[in-house]
Copies of this chain bind each other. A is one copy, B any other.
Amino acid sequence: MTGNDRPGTSPEVHLLRERLSSSLPEGRVVTDPDIAESYAHDQAVWAHYGTPVAVVRTRTTAEVQAVVKACLEFGAPIVARGAGTGLSGGANAVDGCVVLSLEAMDAIVRIDPLERLAVVQPGVVNDDLRAASADHGLWYPPDPASAPWSTIGGNIATNAGGLCCVKYGVTRDYVLEVEVVTGLGDIVRLGRRTAKGVAGYDLCGLMVGSEGTLGIVTEATVKLRPAQGRQRTVAGYFDSVGDAGEAVEAVAAAGLTPAALELVDRHCLRAVDEWKNMGLSAEADVVLLGRIDTPGTVGDEEADRMNQCFADAGATWSAVSTDEAEAEALFAARRLAFPALERLGPVLTEDVCVPKSRVAEMLRRIEAIGVEHDTVIANIAHAGDGNLHPLLIVDDGDTAAQARAQLAFTAIIDAAVELGGTVTGEHGVGLLKRDGLHRELSPEVLAMHRAVKAALDPHDLLNPGKAF
């Protein structure tokens, strides 16, 4: 929680800034402390961030390479960032670093309908790629809640997920090839543009989810799918998170593969109602929202079966929506949950993922942890793939409450690992999950991570201190 102090003016810092300015076109290098501070952190609550020497807003791969070479020479760390919508502190500045903002590299280079791929710069906003793909009858599925703002580069850095991952997979499943500037200042292409390929190790997949610690992605080729078919929405109201969790298990046991299966709990419903007066919290304690996009009558039958799963698990009300506006309103409540909660105070966002069969148990444990640590924990969840986002809410400035929330945060991580889960489903390790990572991975596996990091970034230049 360190703010950005007055910029250092040691001779070394001065020389690095001069070197950056002389290597790059006018206007790329920002040293104004107020502007620099706005680039020094992402949206992770309570994650430390340091003071950068400079922020550089590059526009070409060659400029990125020039920055890396300058930083290599001066031994200055580089923290690459997109839109800064991360929730784990992965893009937070470290003291003395250069923050490399890729948001201005926002060109959709090419969409190829025949090969079903798009070539994009890292600063392209997720929703913009989706819209451009739709113009060709194609679809880029990964849809993090941050899709209106977050960039493909940031999505790649964290291997971002989203609502439709339960059926369509995460960012890594869509990245075919990346152009990367390495920690040695080389420009390389990793992966391939063909449908298949096993020529060498999967270094492209290794870059995805590496949080800017192994290379800086300056271009990506991503797979596209044909446009998604008609969706039916199945909504269910439940009296408890446990019942809703049973419904999630029932859907999996029925052999259904929903295109989304989202959970919104009473804390979220109330917050949305207080803000937008949608009247949901009067009707339900927990809402489950499923979507089915299987074509034709087979999909209609699947939607009916999902509805039956909800009913069998104890839904107080459930229905297949045939009204697009009604369905859209329910999903709007899902999307509004996070900003509605943020209005109440800082929200510490969890991101555990457990096996589908443990969703009900995990939700019950989260409730108990909230009671034990006297912390309000709201829940939104990509329930269909077991990815839960407990949201810990604390009054601004209440340090005792903050300390209790930190304990609850840790207890949730422990519970997830105990249930066979992972400490981060789609947000990345960043700063907030570094301890959790040590609980999840063995010392031997952590040593393998360190060895790979040292192999590909031998000068520890790229986002040092993040992830592990």
Residues of A within 8 A of B (CB): 113-116, 137, 158-159, 161, 165-166, 170, 172-173, 182, 184, 186-190, 192-203, 205-206, 208-210, 214, 226, 229, 249, 252-253, 255, 257, 294-299, 353-357, 382, 385-387, 420-429, 433, 436-437, 440-442, 444-446, 448-449, 451-452, 454-456, 467-468
Contact B199 A208 (CB under 8 A): no
Of B170, B194, B421, the residue contacting A355 (CB under 8 A) is: B194
Of B186, B189, B202, the residue contacting A208 (CB under 8 A) is: B202
Q: How far is B444's CA from A467's CA once the two chains are assembled, in angstroms?
A: 25
Contact B387 A195 (CB under 8 A): yes
Contact B161 A199 (CB under 8 A): no
Contact B422 A201 (CB under 8 A): no
> In the complex, what residues of B have CB within 8 A of residue A137's CB?
255
Contact B198 A426 (CB under 8 A): yes
Contact B226 A257 (CB under 8 A): yes
Instruction: Look across to chain B and name the residue whose beta carbon is closest to the beta carbon of A202.
Output: B205
> In the complex, what residues of B have CB within 8 A of residue A158's CB?
198
> In the complex, what residues of B have CB within 8 A of residue A186's CB?
444
19 CB < 8 A contacts A-B: A113-B253, A114-B249, A137-B255, A170-B196, A194-B353, A194-B385, A194-B422, A194-B425, A195-B387, A197-B424, A200-B445, A200-B446, A201-B209, A201-B449, A201-B452, A205-B205, A229-B298, A295-B295, A296-B296
| Total copies of this chain within the assembly | 2
> In the complex, what residues of B have CB within 8 A of residue A425's CB?
194, 196-198
* A356-B115, A422-B194, A451-B456 known; A440-B201 Cβ under 8 A: no
> In the complex, what residues of B have CB within 8 A of residue A194's CB?
353-355, 385-387, 420-422, 425
Contact A165 B442 (CB under 8 A): no
Of B115, B202, B454, the residue contacting A209 (CB under 8 A) is: B202
Contact B423 A199 (CB under 8 A): yes
Q: How far is B253's CA from A180's CA once the two chains are assembled, in angstroms?
A: 30
Q: A188-B444, A197-B422 are in contact. List 20 more A-B contacts (CB 8 A).
A: A114-B249, A114-B253, A116-B252, A187-B444, A188-B445, A188-B448, A194-B420, A194-B421, A195-B387, A196-B385, A196-B386, A196-B425, A199-B424, A201-B452, A202-B205, A202-B209, A205-B206, A226-B255, A297-B297, A448-B455
Contact B209 A195 (CB under 8 A): no
> In the complex, what residues of B have CB within 8 A of residue A295's CB?
294-296, 298-299
Contact A202 B198 (CB under 8 A): no
Contact B226 A422 (CB under 8 A): no
Least Cβ–Cβ distance between A208 and chain B, in angstroms: 7
- Specify which of A158, A192, A249 lies most central, judged by the most chain B CB atoms within 10 Å of its CB: A192
Least Cβ–Cβ distance between A354 and chain B, in angstroms: 6
Contact B214 A201 (CB under 8 A): yes
Q: How far is B381's CA from A279's CA once the two chains are assembled, in angstroms?
A: 58
Contact B444 A182 (CB under 8 A): yes
> In the complex, what residues of B have CB within 8 A of residue A299's CB?
295
Instruction: Look across to chain B and name the residue whose beta carbon is closest to the beta carbon of A425.
Output: B196
* A194-B386, A255-B137 known; A199-B441 Cβ under 8 A: yes
> In the complex, what residues of B have CB within 8 A of residue A196's CB?
161, 165, 170, 353, 382, 385-387, 422, 425-426
Q: How far is B192's CA from A420's CA once the two chains are assembled, in angstroms?
A: 9
> In the complex, what residues of B have CB within 8 A of residue A355's CB?
115, 193-194
Least Cβ–Cβ distance between A137 and chain B, in angstroms: 6
> In the complex, what residues of B have CB within 8 A of residue A433's CB?
199
Contact B192 A442 (CB under 8 A): no
Instruction: Look across to chain B and name the residue whose beta carbon is closest to the beta carbon of A252.
Output: B114
* A116-B252, A188-B445 known; A437-B182 Cβ under 8 A: no
Of B114, B200, B257, the residue contacting A468 (CB under 8 A) is: B200
* A249-B114, A252-B116, A386-B195 known; A448-B442 Cβ under 8 A: no
- Specify which of A115, A200, A202, A354 lies most central, judged by the most chain B CB atoms within 10 Å of its CB: A200
Contact A353 B197 (CB under 8 A): yes
Contact B114 A440 (CB under 8 A): no
Least Cβ–Cβ distance between A436 and chain B, in angstroms: 8
Q: How far is B205's CA from A210's CA once the two chains are assembled, in angstroms?
A: 13
* A194-B386, A194-B420, A356-B115 known; A440-B199 Cβ under 8 A: yes
Contact A357 B114 (CB under 8 A): yes
Contact B114 A422 (CB under 8 A): no
Q: How far is B253's CA from A249's CA once the two chains are assembled, in angstroms?
A: 39
Instruction: Look across to chain B and name the residue whose beta carbon is closest to the beta carbon of A458.
Output: B451
